[in-house]
């Protein structure tokens, strides 16, 4: 099973170096967006993109705007190309048998996230193969409308989008796409039934996972001119806001809760049930008058509340108040009102606030300082929240070459505590976060 922490810890140095070249300049976000599947779409399969003159070169080319080795990167280095094959392995067989499914590789439940899942035979082109897993069109959309025209000289990104290419440049839209599989929704979800059967725990952060994928595109000045700049801290906060929104939807969903008063187990903090009693957490934790109770798993909301504080203290305070009423009320009333108010706050205020945020070193430093201090004072963090804090801190540092360089050592030490959920020790994370936070007081501004 995957341990994200270990992968993060080993890729972190590479990632920081990769990000050193990123310059913080303006970025406009477009409105929220959802994936639809109109019936005139025809999925052609990645075989239609893989010619060496198109996206299948072995090495990146200098002669065109794009790298042209995207297919090679995807098929060799990107787990998405193996997503279907995973359904044939031993773990998947065991998961399926635990669930009473005969064949994971034929089950719509698994295929909906582990392949370009197209139900209608009439929407599959000649070269479409389920075996290709999560391929180009899972993310870029069915290619029939734009395959011919997109490589013509003079065709712009806007033209391609008009012809049906999914626009993944707006980070809001990109996050929604990734989260549809990496968090799930009412149509496809990894619920506690699936976890209980053995599915690895899902966790996602837009900036970090973009680098881990790895990226088959380069944000250089040409890309910025054609599309938009990419700011890691904005990607992180946008991803958190989208995930906060998805979490609230899940809590409000009739499909994922029982009568709205007891959400599905996967919406609670996994490690509040799954931990060793020998740790005697009660000796270290403070429970604020609520010991022995289940805790909702809301890392994105909790972290977002901190991250937006330097941008808009009032919205952050409002979020804090609504979060505490949510925690108090969900057991009794289902907390429908708090969930609705939080949804409005996230969608109408927080997402636009992030889209408008300044991209200067001062703002990034203030956010870093706030989040590092929060990480260092968080009482007895679970692995879930610690991992999200770690990824958030790394995305913030990656925004500025200056910050990334100054705190490289502290970041590495923090990630060393996140190597695996099995060996995770809250007190080690807190100590590393304290060290980072103490030196961030001297952050360049
Ligand atoms: C159609 C569903 C789907 C979409 C959309 C999707 N993913 Fe994935 N992703 C998966 C599946 C399934 C896996 C696991 C593949 C495997 O190992 O079998 C995965 C794996 C990954 C991994 C590797 C994780 C690891 O621990 O090795 C990264 C990184 C990743 N995805 C990033 C992204 C990003 C970034 C986006 C959005 C731009 C995205 N994904 C969109 C389904 C999806
Ligand atoms: C909501 C989307 C979703 C559904 C439904 C889903 N998966 Fe996954 N699965 C993922 C993602 C995303 C990952 C990668 C997690 C990561 O690395 O962060 C993954 C990872 C896995 C892995 C680990 C892969 C590895 O590289 O070790 C296995 C095994 C797996 N899934 C099997 C299944 C089976 C079997 C089913 C159906 C019973 C299923 N999944 C249903 C999204 C999904
Ligand atoms: C998991 C999602 C995902 C998959 C799978 C995927 N892409 Fe992408 N791709 C992205 C994202 C996100 C971007 C960045 C947004 C953008 O530039 O449009 C991108 C960007 C690109 C670009 C733009 C480069 C530029 O400089 O403008 C090309 C070309 C591309 N992808 C081709 C492919 C091809 C070919 C495949 C299949 C072999 C593929 N992608 C598979 C998510 C994906
Ligand atoms: C309310 C308590 C509770 C919460 C919260 C909870 N679980 Fe469970 N979990 C259980 C129980 C009870 C079982 C069944 C144990 C058994 O069969 O022995 C279980 C079983 C499992 C199993 C299979 C047994 C094992 O040890 O391998 C996995 C894996 C699992 N849960 C993962 C998760 C994940 C991931 C989350 C968070 C997304 C989570 N659980 C949240 C109570 C919980």
Residue 16's pLDDT is 41
Specify the ligand 2 atom closest to the Cα of 209.
Answer: 18
Inform me whether the pLDDT recorded for 315 exceeds 70.
yes
Asked if 46 and 426 count as a contact pair (C-beta separation under 8 A), the reply is no
Residue 288 CB coordination number (10 Å)? 9
Quick one: how far is CA 289 from the chain centroid? 33
Cβ contacts of residue 298 below 8 Å, gap of 6+?
244, 247, 323, 326
Ligand closest to Cα of 1 equals 2
Inform me whether the pLDDT recorded for 15 exceeds 60.
no
Select the more confidently predicted residue: 159 or 19: 159
Q: In degrees rounded to 5, what are phi and psi of residue 345?
A: -60, -45
Alpha-carbon gap, residue 125 to 122, rounded angstroms: 8
Q: Which whole-number Å values give the CA distances from 271 to 33, 54, 250, 263, 297, in the listed order?
A: 33, 47, 19, 16, 10
Asked if 228 and 169 count as a contact pair (C-beta separation under 8 A), the reply is yes
Inform me whether the pLDDT recorded for 109 exceeds 90.
yes
Alpha-carbon gap, residue 45 to 335, rounded angstroms: 44
Inform me whether the pLDDT recorded for 62 exceeds 50.
yes
Residue 258's pLDDT is 65
- Going by C-alpha positions, the residue among 271, 272, 248 that lies closest to residue 260 is 248
pLDDT range class, residue 335, cuts 50, 70, 90: confident
Alpha-carbon gap, residue 318 to 358, rounded angstroms: 22
Going by alpha carbons, the residue nearest to atom 29 of ligand 3 is: 66
Q: What is the pLDDT of residues 155-205, one digit of tens each?
A: 899 999 999 999 999 999 999 999 999 999 999 999 999 999 999 999 999
Tokens of 402: 């200056």
Residue 8's pLDDT is 55
Inform me whether the pLDDT recorded for 118 exceeds 50.
yes
| pLDDT, mean of residues 398-426 | 93
Alpha-carbon gap, residue 34 to 236, rounded angstroms: 19
Alpha-carbon gap, residue 191 to 189, rounded angstroms: 6
| pLDDT, mean of residues 307-335 | 92
Alpha-carbon gap, residue 264 to 253, rounded angstroms: 10
Residue 443's pLDDT is 59
Residue 39's pLDDT is 67
Residue 345's pLDDT is 98
Select the more confidently predicted residue: 16 or 187: 187
Average pLDDT, the chain: 88
Residue 394's pLDDT is 95
Inform me whether the pLDDT recorded for 93 exceeds 70.
yes
Q: E strands, 197-311, where?
A: 257-258, 262-263
Residue 328's pLDDT is 86
Least confident piece of the model among 1-10, 193-202, 388-397, 423-432: 1-10
Compute the distance from residue 199 Cα to the ligand 2 centre, in Å: 6
Residue 20's pLDDT is 34
Q: Which residue stretches of 47-191 are H helix?
A: 70-77, 83-86, 90-99, 108-114, 136-140, 157-162, 171-182
Residue 19's pLDDT is 42
Compute the distance from residue 1 Cα to the ligand 2 centre, in Å: 10
Compute the distance from residue 115 Cα to the ligand 4 centre, in Å: 26
Tokens of 393: 């801190």
Residue 291's pLDDT is 86
| pLDDT, mean of residues 363-369 | 96
| pLDDT, mean of residues 406-424 | 94
Alpha-carbon gap, residue 351 to 372, rounded angstroms: 22
Alpha-carbon gap, residue 89 to 150, rounded angstroms: 37
Select the more confidently predicted residue: 236 or 59: 236
Q: What is the pLDDT of residues 193-238, one digit of tens each?
A: 999 999 999 999 999 999 999 999 999 999 999 999 999 999 999 9
| pLDDT, mean of residues 349-369 | 96
Going by alpha carbons, the residue nearest to atom 41 of ligand 1 is: 178
Residue 17's pLDDT is 38
> Which residue ranges have their beta carbon within 6 Å of ligand 2?
1-2, 4, 86-87, 91-92, 95-96, 99, 104, 107, 109-110, 112-114, 181-182, 184, 188-190, 194, 199-200, 202
Q: In degrees rounded to 5, what are phi and psi of residue 268?
A: -95, 165
Least confident piece of the model among 20-24, 258-262, 268-272: 20-24
Least confident piece of the model among 34-43, 133-142, 144-153: 34-43
Tokens of 433: 């976060």
Residue 377's pLDDT is 96
Going by alpha carbons, the residue nearest to atom 38 of ligand 1 is: 178
Inform me whether the pLDDT recorded for 260 exceeds 90.
no
Tokens of 294: 């289940």
What's the CA angle centered on 87, arms 37 and 137, to 5 degrees?
30
Cβ contacts of residue 219 below 8 Å, gap of 6+?
22, 229, 230
Peptide bond into 119 cis (omega under 30): no
Least confident piece of the model among 88-97, 148-157, 428-437: 148-157
Give the three-state DSSP class for 337: helix
Q: E strands, 292-410, where?
A: none
Q: What is the pTM of this model?
A: 0.93
| pLDDT, mean of residues 300-322 | 98
Inform me whether the pLDDT recorded for 104 exceeds 50.
yes
Residue 441's pLDDT is 74
Cβ contacts of residue 21 below 8 Å, gap of 6+?
401
In the chain, the percentage of residues whose pLDDT exceeds 70 is: 89
């Amino acid at each position: 099973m995957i341990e994200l922490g270990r992968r993060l810890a080993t890729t972190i140095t590479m990632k920081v170096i990769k990000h050193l070249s990123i310059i913080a300049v303006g970025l406009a976000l477009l409105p929220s967006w959802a994936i639809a599947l109109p019936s005139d779409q025809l999925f052609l399969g990645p075989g239609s993109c893989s010619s060496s003159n198109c996206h299948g070169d072995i090495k990146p080319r200098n002669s065109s705007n794009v790298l042209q080795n995207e297919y090679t990167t995807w098929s060799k280095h990107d787990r998405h190309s193996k997503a279907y094959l995973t359904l044939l392995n031993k773990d998947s067989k065991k998961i399926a048998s635990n669930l009473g499914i005969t064949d994971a590789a034929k089950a719509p439940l698994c295929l909906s996230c582990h392949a370009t899942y197209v139900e209608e035979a009439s929407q599959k082109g000649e070269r479409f193969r389920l075996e290709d897993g999560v391929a180009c069109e899972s993310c870029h959309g069915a290619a029939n409308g734009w395959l011919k025209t997109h490589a013509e000289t003079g065709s712009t990104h806007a033209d391609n989008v008009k012809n049906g290419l999914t626009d993944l440049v707006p980070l809001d839209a990109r996050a929604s796409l990734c989260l549809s599989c990496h968090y799930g929704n009412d149509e496809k979800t990894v619920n506690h039934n699936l976890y209980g059967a053995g599915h690895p725990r899902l966790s996602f952060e837009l900036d970090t996972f973009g680098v881990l994928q790895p990226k088959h595109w380069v944000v250089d000045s040409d890309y910025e001119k054609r599309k938009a700049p990419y700011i890691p801290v904005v990607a992180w906060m946008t991803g958190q806001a989208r995930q906060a929104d998805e979490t609230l939807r899940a809590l409000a969903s009739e499909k994922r809760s029982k009568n709205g008063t007891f959400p599905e187990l996967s919406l609670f903090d996994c490690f509040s049930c799954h931990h060793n009693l020998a740790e005697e957490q009660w000796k270290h934790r403070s429970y604020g008058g609520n010991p022995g109770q289940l805790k909702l798993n809301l890392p994105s909301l909790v972290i977002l509340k901190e991250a937006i504080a330097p941008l808009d203290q009032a919205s952050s305070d409002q979020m804090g108040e609504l979060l505490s009423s949510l925690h108090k009320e969900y057991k009794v009333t289902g907390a429908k009102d708090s969930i609705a108010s939080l949804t409005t706050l996230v969608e109408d205020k927080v997402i636009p606030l992030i889209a408008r945020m300044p991209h200067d070193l001062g703002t990034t430093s203030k956010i870093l300082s706030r989040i590092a201090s929060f990480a260092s004072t968080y009482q007895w963090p679970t692995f879930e929240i610690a991992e999200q804090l770690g990824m958030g801190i790394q995305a913030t540092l990656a925004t500025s070459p200056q910050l990334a360089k100054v705190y490289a050592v502290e970041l590495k030490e923090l990630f060393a505590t996140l190597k695996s959920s099995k060996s995770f020790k809250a007190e080690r994370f807190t100590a590393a976060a304290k060290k980072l936070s103490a030196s961030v007081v001297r952050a360049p501004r």
